[in-house]
């Protein structure tokens, strides 16, 4: 310690049990590990995960026709001995499938940032429960390189460059049984030199602890790991092994002469899982936090009022942002209402026209009807008049006949004269 004397102990005190006490608490609490797999469709991301964790995770193989890059996340509870692990596997979907890949890296960066943001927001809350927080920050990013045998694609370089300050990148050559041994060596050298010349910082297995310095140092030289994934078990000799069968031979996943799968598993899980978590928290997260806070205008020069000014201003900025969102939402709603009104007016106009037309037609119809009725009436009148005259004439005739047939005859005679 700084300026602290070391004093000898005169007997056994018992604080050498401290690491156990700490570990026991962690075990009771459970652990979290989050892996992000970035790679083009068809490079065997899900198969590799299945192989690494000796299981079959849910999910269907993705198609190549995604409109943009998306991220699919699944969380699983695994248990081994007394260790409970909450494992989250995030995979890119549709990465590299678009014609224009300029923005392909964006959803990935946004996703990683979103996890940092969620943690930061929890950390800044007044009433917070950090020790019970489900940590979703990405601890390791496996970057799948296509086994072309030539060099890195520009998409790979661009993406890794954007990610290297945000996450621990472990580059791997996928489906490496497609490359011959000699080509593989050249390929690895080419990839490494391209990464270096482009200033891409990949994750270095730590060499500061003597117990792991040697193995980590050796492994660093084997990057990128050339892996093969397979969940199929074939009988080789008298053992069942994970393998891929070809007409010309069988590739054994766990045979270190065939591929680097065992190295990847060793480094990712059995040796450096805790370091990956620690680097994520103490380096990548701190960088994100610092940048975010600086962006919001905080400085370290005002120590006295900082606790609440940080809290207040962060809340204020957040409210401001939410206010902006609300305004935008309101504006959109207004516009929508306006459009609805216009459409409504249009429709009303059309309706009015229709009504008018209908009224006109109706009037026409009524006029016609009236005309017809008038005509009918006049016809009826004529008919009635005729009937009356007929009746009158008939009456006269019968009267004349009765009054004197002679009269009638006389009249008739007279008439005849």
Partner 1 sequence: GPVESKTEAAMSELVPESRQKPVVPMKPLGMNANLLGYIGIDTIIEQMRKKTMKTGFDFNIMVVGQSGLGKSTLVNTLFKSQVSRKSSGWNREEKIPKTVEIKAIGHVIEEGGVKMKLTVIDTPGFGDQINNENCWEPIEKYINEQYEKFLKEEVNIARKKRIPDTRVHCCLYFISPTGHSLRPLDLEFMKHLSKVVNIIPVIAKADTMTLEEKTEFKQRVRKELEVNGIEFYPQKEFDEDLEDKTENDKIRQESMPFAVVGSDKEYQVNGKRVLGRKTPWGIIEVENLTHCEFALLRDFVIRTHLQDLKEVTHNIHYETYRAKRLNDNGGLPPMTVETEENHESNL
Interaction with partner 1 in 238-267: which residues (CB under 8 A)? 265-266
Q: Is 4 in the site for partner 1 (CB under 8 A)?
A: yes
Among 41, 53, 59, 101, binds partner 1 (CB under 8 A): 53
Q: What gap in Å lies between CA 106 and CA 121, rounded to an integer?
A: 22
Torsion sign (Cα): 196, 198, 204, 208: positive
Supply the minimum distance, in Å, between the C-beta of residue 69 and partner 1. 26
Q: Is 7 in the site for partner 1 (CB under 8 A)?
A: yes
Q: What gap in Å lies between CA 314 and CA 289, rounded to an integer?
A: 12
Number of residues interacting with partner 1: please give it, by CB under 8 A: 81
Q: Is 215 in the site for partner 1 (CB under 8 A)?
A: no
Supply the minimum distance, in Å, between the C-beta of residue 116 and partner 1. 14
Q: Is 400 in the site for partner 1 (CB under 8 A)?
A: no
Supply the minimum distance, in Å, between the C-beta of residue 271 and partner 1. 7
Q: What gap in Å lies between CA 350 and CA 408, rounded to an integer?
A: 78
DSSP state of 96: T
Collect all residues with Cβ–Cβ distance below 8 Å to 235 and sequence separation of at least 6. Answer: 241
Of the two residues 94 and 229, which places its CB atom closer to partner 1 in the complex? 229
Supply the minimum distance, in Å, between the C-beta of residue 336 and partner 1. 40
**For partner 1, what does the binding mask look like between residues 294 and 333, x meaning CB under 8 A?**
x---xxx--xxxxxx-xxx---------------------
Supply the minimum distance, in Å, between the C-beta of residue 65 and partner 1. 29
Q: Is 282 in the site for partner 1 (CB under 8 A)?
A: yes
**For partner 1, what does the binding mask look like between residues 72 and 111, x meaning CB under 8 A?**
----xxxxxxxxxx--------------------------
DSSP state of 194: H
Q: Is 185 in the site for partner 1 (CB under 8 A)?
A: no
93 DSSP β-pair partners: 70
Residues 113-152 that bind partner 1 (CB under 8 A): 126-128, 130-131
**In the structure encoding, which two tokens stand for residue 84, read together?**
């409970």
87 DSSP β-pair partners: 33, 76
Q: What gap in Å lies between CA 37 and CA 78, rounded to an integer?
A: 19
CA-based nearest residue to 265, from 399, 379, 151, 172: 172
Supply the minimum distance, in Å, between the C-beta of residue 46 and partner 1. 13
Q: Is 9 in the site for partner 1 (CB under 8 A)?
A: yes
Per-position DSSP letters for 145-213, written without gaps between them:
EP--SS---HHHHHHHHHHTTTS-EEEEETTGGGS-HHHHHHHHHHHHHHHHHTT--PPPPP-SSHHHH
3-state secondary structure of 254: coil
- Choose one: 3-11, 147-155, 176-184, 213-221; the region binding partner 1 (CB under 8 A): 3-11
């Amino acid at each position: 310690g700084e300026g602290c004397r070391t004093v000898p102990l005169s007997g056994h005190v018992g604080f050498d049990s401290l690491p156990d006490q700490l570990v026991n608490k962690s075990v009771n609490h459970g652990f979290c590990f989050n892996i992000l797999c970035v790679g083009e469709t068809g490079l065997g991301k899900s198969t590799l995960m299945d192989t690494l964790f000796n299981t079959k995770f849910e999910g269907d193989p993705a198609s190549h026709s995604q409109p943009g890059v998306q991220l699919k996340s699944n969380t699983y509870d695994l248990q081994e001995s007394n260790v409970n692990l909450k494992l989250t596997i995030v995979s890119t979907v549709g990465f590299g499938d678009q014609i224009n890949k300029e923005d392909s890296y964006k959803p990935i960066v946004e996703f990683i940032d979103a996890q940092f943001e969620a943690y930061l927001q929890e950390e800044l809350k007044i009433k917070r429960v950090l020790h019970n927080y489900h940590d979703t920050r990405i601890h390791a990013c496996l970057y799948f390189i296509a086994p072309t045998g030539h060099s890195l694609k520009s998409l790979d370089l661009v993406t890794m460059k954007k990610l290297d300050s945000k996450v621990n990148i472990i580059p791997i050559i996928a489906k490496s049984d497609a490359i011959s041994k000699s080509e593989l060596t050249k390929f690895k050298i080419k990839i490494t030199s391209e990464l270096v010349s482009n200033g891409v910082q990949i994750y270095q297995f730590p060499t500061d602890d003597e117990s792991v310095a040697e193995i980590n140092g050796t492994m660093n030289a084997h990057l990128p790991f050339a892996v093969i994934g397979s969940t199929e078990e074939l009988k080789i000799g008298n053992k069942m092994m994970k393998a891929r069968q070809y007409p010309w031979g069988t590739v054994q996943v766990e045979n270190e002469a065939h591929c680097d799968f065992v190295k990847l598993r060793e480094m990712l899980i059995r040796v450096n899982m805790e370091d990956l978590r620690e680097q994520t928290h103490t380096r990548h997260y701190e960088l994100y936090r610092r940048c975010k806070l600086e962006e919001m205008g905080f400085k370290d020069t005002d120590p006295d009022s900082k606790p609440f000014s940080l809290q207040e201003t962060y809340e204020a900025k957040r409210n401001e942002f939410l206010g902006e969102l609300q305004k935008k939402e309101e504006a959109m709603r207004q516009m929508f209402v306006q459009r609805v009104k216009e459409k409504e007016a249009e429709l009303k106009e059309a309706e009015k026209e229709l009504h008018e037309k209908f009224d006109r037609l109706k009037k026409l119809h009524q006029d016609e009807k009236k005309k017809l009725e008038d005509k009918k009436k006049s016809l009826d009148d004529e008919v009635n008049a005729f009937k009356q005259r007929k009746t009158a004439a008939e009456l006269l005739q019968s009267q004349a006949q009765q009054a004197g047939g002679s009269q009638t005859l006389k009249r008739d005679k007279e008439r005849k004269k």
